[in-house]
Structure 1
């Protein structure tokens, strides 16, 4: 049996329990922050639409034992406890024996208290009201434990989860809709935006975020990147159009311009940003591959142009190409030109890694992009993305020294010797 109930009604159920077989409470402060921000956005929406409801998830119960949803239930109970010191339920009163659960509960409750610092009484009252009037949950009750696990399995493993870019699309469409309604404009203006977005293949959008935009953001801050999942979409939620923060004024003033490492205004600007960097990346690739002065570089970048004894189908080759294009896009995005000297330098930096390594995996690329971590297997240890991010003039990049002359033969992969020779040719004029 399934029913939709308010969060307040769920939390007030008597005798909710967490079975001993359940994993410990693992939510981090980031998880809590995401939930609080979602609730805050839901409250905003509810003030515009009287019948607005926000569904925070699904809970599976077997005779009041929580089979699925305990992380969210514990967190919502902690939020309720902060908002009402007299709040109590069977979850709050439980004796958690697992040390990690106890530590995370204590840490997250402190985070909740800090999160509400600066919130006035009206805002806190809105949160209390939302638990009863806005936030709802799907409760699935099953009669026996085997049924419970079957439902749990179908919920968590068989269903197709939304890609992170789909979640971003939904988030920014909602922000765009809210902005249009505030300006008394028709939501029909959203149609061209949606149509343009749908013209991109999911594969291309996934690649843009996972292999270009998200890595550049991280590498520019000298942070290793990870796969772009739903946990990381906060990096592309942008700044709300009515955000009161001082930095938000500068973000709004920068419209309609974009910078890879800077925030943008949420809503329509997100879709414009995707269009902008899709076109910019395509433009950069065309310039490098079509200009005669880059002919030697283009030979190595073209996967269809055969070079004797060179495997251009290998993942290591593709990683090196992508590293080059990411660094070049990062530079072009900031300075708006493709000086021959700079392009040669960036190519040499990216492809010296390919020349150094017998086997090149993404973990190595990740380390190399933020400065190489003093790894003696490769020649260069320049944090190029950070250098570009911090540069104030293009000549700051031109002055960076890229090591080309290799005296230690142990750091040269013999199968890529032709690449190393061409890098030397490219850089003869730079010495």
Structure 2
């Protein structure tokens, strides 16, 4: 048993372990059809590799009074169970083909694969017979996923090459620990020292794996800016700006950016995705930018072309993701900083564009009104910033002053109408009065400026402070949006 510790094991070797067990304290089995689809996509696209790591499995070795020596899976349960279901489905498909007399035409021509699957039947059946899953969710998910896996492995494209890759070249790193507290401590250390990995950390790990092999030398350069930024700045960039804009532009809720939402920032790997029409514009831009920047003329004129990122575009996995994060971190920081600077002057500029007196006054008011630091006011300011950043991302500085006015009236109408603004209030308001989606659908700046916003009456004002009107209401009245 000790020989298993700190060892790399193939899937076939892992599933042949006869002491595997899922302890009662484990969370329910929750892998979804999407997780399975991602696994099979990996199998299809990574077959050129001599070995492919699926992660690690942490075991707690102990002696059970009924079962003897046992290896409890402390970390890696979801992956291990799914692999077990996949191999069990393969065994069942082999049985079905044998019973139907398809032996000569079957995909299982290789005798070594037949023998491997036959050898795995006993330990897998024994595990299924002895393992108890106290959660009803686990039982339902296992059954549902097994049926889906049977459909997938029965497809002709899941051929002997993929079966061999799954069994013999897909690997896990095994760790065997003797003490349960030590096992949990190890598990915690593998997961950001006792805390769940932040969503942006998960994205970093994913996109590092997505680097093209010929770009391996660029990894350090691509993540250098990322590594220099404090974790809370990256968390703020994704949760408060990138996630909200992308979701709201699609008319979807954007309250919390957690681990289950990271797929929003996973897109296409241009070296692996097929030549589908929807990818071609990205592929052209990707290669053209690289070709332009590599020409010898750039050594003379010193020019460098940035990739044309847009907040709501398809993500290009790998290097372009890190470039995108750096681009928007700098872009958002510059806009927010210039907004703050503009709040201190009579006339202002933003991104080099001279603003009208009215737009300057909006920014000055937002940076100075008395109750701007309340939680609800911060939510409303986030709405304003997201809308303005999205506008600038699409139209640049053209029509910027009118855009500032529009975004202000749209966002702060929510503040004036509500006694209290909570996260749900902000999210619901955006979805009901979605200026961000209107920006997405606009073809010209004038399309947005032609978007009519309703004025307010005194009766709608629920945010009076001791019966007095604040600077926001005064500005609404001055702009003819308050009656």
TM-score interval, smaller chain: 0.7 to 0.9
CA contact (8 A) 2:399 2:445 kept: no
Name the Cα RMSD after superposition: 3.1
Q: Secondary structure at the match of 1:54?
A: strand
Q: Secondary structure at the match of 2:172?
A: strand
Offset at 1:260? Answer: 1.2
Distance 2:335 2:210 in 1: 31
Could you give the per-residue CA deviations for residues 175-206 of structure 1, whole angstroms, max 9, x where no partner exists? 334243xxxxxx44444323333333322222
1:138 and 2:174 equivalent? yes
Distance 2:208 2:261 in 1: 18
Offset at 1:21? Answer: 5.2
1:26 and 2:30 equivalent? yes
Q: 1:155 aligns with which of 187, 197, 202?
A: 187
In structure 1, the residue matched to 2:436 is 385
Residues 230 and 100 of structure 1, relative CA distance in 2, 3 Å threshold: closer
Higher mean displacement: 147-156 or 220-229: 147-156
CA contact (8 A) 1:342 1:398 kept: yes
In structure 1, the residue matched to 2:331 is 280
Could you give the per-residue CA deviations for residues 200-230 of structure 1, whole angstroms, max 9, x where no partner exists? 3322222111111011111111211243333
Distance 1:109 1:404 in 2: 57
In structure 2, the residue matched to 1:60 is 59
Q: 1:176 aligns with which of 179, 199, 211?
A: 211
In structure 2, the residue matched to 1:6 is 10
CA contact (8 A) 2:10 2:172 kept: yes
Distance 1:334 1:117 in 2: 47
Aligned ranges 1:280-319 → 2 under 5 Å:
280-285=331-336, 288=339, 289=342, 290-291=348-349, 292-293=355-356, 294-302=359-367, 305=368, 307=369, 310-319=370-379
Q: 1:194 aligns with which of 223, 244, 254?
A: 223
CA contact (8 A) 1:29 1:111 kept: yes
Residues 273 and 30 of structure 1, relative CA distance in 2, 3 Å threshold: same
Could you give the per-residue CA deviations for residues 72-102 of structure 1, whole angstroms, max 9, x where no partner exists? 2221111222344355303444575754222
CA contact (8 A) 2:200 2:234 kept: yes
Could you give the per-residue CA deviations for residues 332-356 of structure 1, whole angstroms, max 9, x where no partner exists? 2222334322221111111122222
In structure 1, the residue matched to 2:112 is none
Q: Secondary structure at the match of 2:55?
A: strand
CA contact (8 A) 1:252 1:264 kept: no
Distance 2:43 2:59 in 1: 22
1:324 and 2:384 equivalent? yes
Q: Secondary structure at the match of 2:278?
A: helix
Q: What TM-score, normalized by structure 1, do the two folds share?
A: 0.80
Distance 2:394 2:449 in 1: 14
In structure 2, the residue matched to 1:78 is 85
Distance 1:128 1:300 in 2: 66
Distance 1:277 1:117 in 2: 45
Q: 1:103 aligns with which of 115, 140, 144?
A: 140
Q: What TM-score, normalized by structure 2, do the two folds share?
A: 0.72
Q: Secondary structure at the match of 1:176?
A: coil
CA contact (8 A) 1:176 1:266 kept: yes
CA contact (8 A) 1:193 1:271 kept: yes
Distance 2:383 2:183 in 1: 43
Q: Note the residue ranges of structure 2 that are not aligned, 5 or more in a row.
A: 63-68, 95-116, 287-306, 343-347, 350-354
Q: Note the residue ranges of structure 1 that are not aligned, 5 or more in a row.
A: 181-186, 372-381
CA contact (8 A) 2:245 2:311 kept: yes
Q: 1:418 aligns with which of 459, 462, 471?
A: 471
Distance 1:117 1:301 in 2: 61
CA contact (8 A) 1:67 1:149 kept: no
Distance 2:463 2:128 in 1: 61
Count of residue pairs brought into register by the alignment:
399
Residues 117 and 260 of structure 1, relative CA distance in 2, 3 Å threshold: farther
Offset at 1:325? Answer: 0.9
